[in-house]
Amino acid sequence: MSVKSREPVSSHKGSPRYRRPRVRSNLGSPYAILRATLGGKPCGASTAMKEIVRRNAFYAQSGGVSAVINASACGVIETASGKRQIGKVYAGRHGIVGALTEDLIEENRAEYERLIEVFRAHDIGYFFYNGGNDSMDTALKVSQLGAALGFPITCVGVPKTVDNDLPHTDCCPGFGSVAKYVAVSTREAALDVASMARTSTRVFVFEVMGRHAGWIAAAAGLAGRGEAEPPHIILFPEVPFELEKFLERVRGCVSDFGYCVIVVSEGAAYADGRFLAEAGTRDAFGHTQLGGVAPVVANMVREAYGYKYHWAVADYLQRSARHIASRVDVDQAYAVGKAAVELAVKGVNAVMPTIVRKASKPYKWAIGHVPLAEVANKEKKLPPAYIRADGFGITEPCRRYLEPLIAGEAYPPYRNGLPDYARIKGVAVRRKLATEFKV
């Protein structure tokens, strides 16, 4: 497991200061599980601890990265390292690989049983799974099967998804930072286009993530205020795409403002559910793999009007931009990781920590929790009240929701002009099972 920044930095009381781990790479190792060495205490550290049943903990990350994913990892690992109920803290190499690959976990009971077998062999009594909707379902199933197989294990999901589509939480760690990146990128690219529109590019199309939920696309709306300020058009997955209405809006923008900036979610679709761009493949969870929608939209404009255009895809850049992370996002990511451990050692099982908004101005939040059954495989879409009546922009309530989430800066340390990201030292743990699982 690699750590991309010196985490954590948090405004919460008791937040630890960064301790840089020593760097050691052993990606070619045959060992399946890594021990995360961030100060864990050895078993039997004191006489008083001998009466406490101590079990090991396993932490894994799922899905794509976020700018603050390591803040959650640090929240889990550092908090677990200070708990008497927890012995060693392990982490899976490349996410859950090391116990089992994620795609196989989702497909049949035999692979879940293998996971429990690995946990039993390493005396792992706590499982912290950092991810989104599908990952919460995995954590829930592991908890249920562990009980059925006579190996109770406390499973706590740690929320993380840049899509911001987990229900029952005000926002998801990772979203605030990608929202900040998208809003900043939209504003800066729009200034570029505006400066050259008279003699060069008239239409700019910016593609962002979001398969079924338009939270990231909505964040682009923070870049401007008023109809004349870009983005002039946002295409949400929640709003069925109408070609004629869209083209009319593009022509109007070019006529009125001299140029048009369009932000499109990768999941933009027609009324019948067909995505504007489908690659015809599926990801590890069986979801339709989307191709580039930006060139598709740009070509629609070219064919209709012949405008000179340019398009860009944020892709991995939007979710991995730690250098422009939101301060609020970093704090919340660490807080949910810490809360996951606090809940687990209290015996609270099959839950996910949540972020509860107390106020928007000034922004105040607290940590709650919800049963995994209520979030597993469920999606929170952009509410209709957050989408402008014409379907091409955000409303003031949406702006009030989004603005606090991108607030503040949390710059990583720099060296020679570049972010100086650290890597965690991974001490390989020897296998205890006679059989191997083929990845």
- Domain membership of residue 313 as a residue range: 175-323
- The answer to whether 256 is a known catalytic residue is no
Give the model's pLDDT for residue 282: 55
In a domain, 369, yes or no: no
Give the model's pLDDT for residue 143: 92
pLDDT along the chain (439 residues), means of 10: 36 39 30 30 34 77 66 82 83 55 41 82 91 91 89 93 96 97 98 94 97 97 91 98 98 98 97 82 57 91 96 93 95 96 96 97 97 94 98 98 97 94 73 67
Give the model's pLDDT for residue 92: 67
In a domain, 303, yes or no: yes
Give the model's pLDDT for residue 226: 81
In a domain, 33, yes or no: no
Looking at the 3D structure of the chain, how many domains does it have? 1
In a domain, 437, yes or no: no
Two structure tokens written together for 238 = 């929640």
Give the model's pLDDT for residue 22: 33
- DSSP secondary structure letter of residue 9: -
- CATH, residue 282: 3.40.50.460
Q: Name residue 374's amino acid.
A: E
CB 53 within 8 A of CB 307: no
Give the model's pLDDT for residue 32: 30
In a domain, 389, yes or no: no
> How many residues are listed for the chain in this entry?
439
In a domain, 15, yes or no: no
In a domain, 365, yes or no: no
Give the model's pLDDT for residue 112: 74
What does the angle CA 353 – CA 106 – CA 339 come to, to the nearest 5 degrees? 10
Q: Given 137, 163, 165, 329, which residue is catalytic?
A: 163
Give the model's pLDDT for residue 290: 61
Residue 355, beta-bridge partner list: 367
In a domain, 95, yes or no: no
DSSP 27-61: TT-S--EEEE-SSPPPTT-SGGGGGS--EEEEEEE
Residues 276, 297: Cα–Cα separation, whole Å: 8
Q: pTM of the prediction?
A: 0.81
CB 365 within 8 A of CB 170: yes
